[in-house]
Structure 1
Amino acid sequence: MPAISIDTFFACSLLVSVALLATASLAGTMQDRLTAMQDLNKDDYLRNIAEHLVTSCGTPVDWGSAGTVPSSLGLADSESSYLYELDIDKISSLNNENSYALSYAQASASARLNNIALGISVSQMLSITTTLSANSSLGDETAYTFEISVSQASGPTSATLQCYVVTEDSVNAISNTTSNAGVGYITVQILNASNGPALLVVFARATFDDRITAYETYSFAHLSQEPSPNHTFLGLSPLNSTLSVEENFPDVTVEHGYAFSYAYQSNLTSTSASTYAIPEFVDNSPTVLVISAVNDTTPFVEWTAYPDIPLDFGSDFENAERNVFVYTVLVKGALYKLTLSFGDVIQ
């Protein structure tokens, strides 16, 4: 082949190679852009769904307090003028321990998600850890000392503590503060004659914002065998400022009912054989509802919270794609962390 033909051949080959490389590069860039646009569109689509769930009251607007299945799912409080304030009963209806809870199928259908997996988690802004650190006999009483640690997302935090100890026939209130390291101690004395299971209810309030108020419970034995797990003897379901009590055994007899918040405590007033009115405390705090009772002759103390938080509802997304949107929300004056999770969008 003449030299000029060889040169022409290699020149043409080089041009073709450059063109192919440019085409491949352009195709790769376009695909990356299309993928990025699809991801952006998916994120916007799911974010709009999340915003709707948080800011819409749903249909009907009172589906939470009415205990009905909504035709359109929305969690906002219809009587609030604040953005991201959620309805106490709509949130409580997502706790599967509540007898008024929605099923996953009902929530997914009313949210109109078109086969997109849904997960809803609501947690408190403070974490409280309680440890029984000491006990001693004092004549006809026994003293118990508890170590209480309080932290937030950034680490330990100082807080004021309000605590209540409930036995079968007594209630004691104790208050204290934590150190800057988030650790505090309380000591309570219980009459030996009140032997049986006891329940410590701890409220912690951040010193920098009273809307950041959380609770924790700690069951312990007072001169008796270890308490049974919560909800062993009773089903406790708060809805529309009413506590419904379902007895799990025929020999259960309810003796006392109490409501506690950070700043207030009250006896529960019976409105029927199985319901109690929940007092509406003017307090930026969850309310813990406690029932003391006996099963035959065995005393027990069980509890629930209103709103029914913390809770995890829906899909756990094990080995599946998860798109997460996090909100700080108000429920009855207290702040909580709401996490909405969605699965992949089928194109």
Structure 2
Amino acid sequence: MARIFRFHQHGGPEVLRIETVDVAPPARGEVQIRARALGLNRADALLRRGTYIETATFPSGLGLEAAGIVEAVGEGVAGFAPGDAVSIVPPRSMVRSPAHAELATFPVDLIVKHPRELSFEAAAAVWMQYLTAYGALVDIAGLGRGDVVAITAASSSVGLAAIQIANRIGAIPVALTRTSAKRHALHEAGAAHVIASAEEDIRLRLEEIAGANGVRMVLDAVGGPAFEPLTAAMAPGGILLEYGGLSPEPTPFPLFNVLTKSLVLRGYLVHEITGDAARLARAKAFILDGLADGSLKPIIARTFRFEDIVEAHRFLESNEQFGKIVVTI
């Protein structure tokens, strides 16, 4: 028996329940972990509200990130044993494989032995943010030394991971945030430049920063009217990767900018990386190396107790956080 977070209808944080369920032993090729910490993502709230790319089947679990101790291994599993400290690569479906539980089971290829010096709280804040940012900046865009990358929603966990990865490869991270409230914190987190999008002219500031070369890449989680000034400041042949849609306003297609600069605009999901064994292996190696040398360091906004999951989700939806929200068990 183990406790798990579930909801029986779509709605706000108040629909979440802590329920006790039977947990089957791991099948062949699976690893069961006893969680010590859980990482929250905006996708959790979207699934709960019924606006995610995946549809919940009630009663539904949720969650994409966890870290803990191996409880048991299934037949055919090599390299892991009960007692190992591990974290998980986000599963493709949190409905079929919800991570937010005391005891959860995953395919062995999603299990990672993280560095010993990493706490469970930090380990639960690693894989979604760094895999998402790595896949965009390094795997797809091929960002290099001296390239300027504009990062929207920069105070999110993915935004902060992108800043750290950009610095690790020698690129120039420009953080976009709505107001100046988080400007200092973003500079402290490694942003070379910070633009308050509600207070400054986005195109003008990006052009001042990038100069004649223009912005090589945009990593965007927002969409909306900012597409026009963002693409206007991009370099010829630049790439904009869209991995979210936070803006409630329509997103115009910047036809003139795309045509005159031969820009690439495309959607992106972390599943592109996690669903490809070779790409995932390269990503894990890059991230583990960065964790080991200190160039990658998860920033945790706040931790909550397992019993306070409703409050944790309320904080998640407040947009007040700077970094990852973690729930401890």
TM-score range normalised by the length of the shorter chain = under 0.3
Structure with greater strand percent: 1
TM-score (norm 2): 0.23
**If you compute each CA radius of gyration, which structure gives the higher value, 1 or 2?**
1
TM-score (norm 1): 0.22
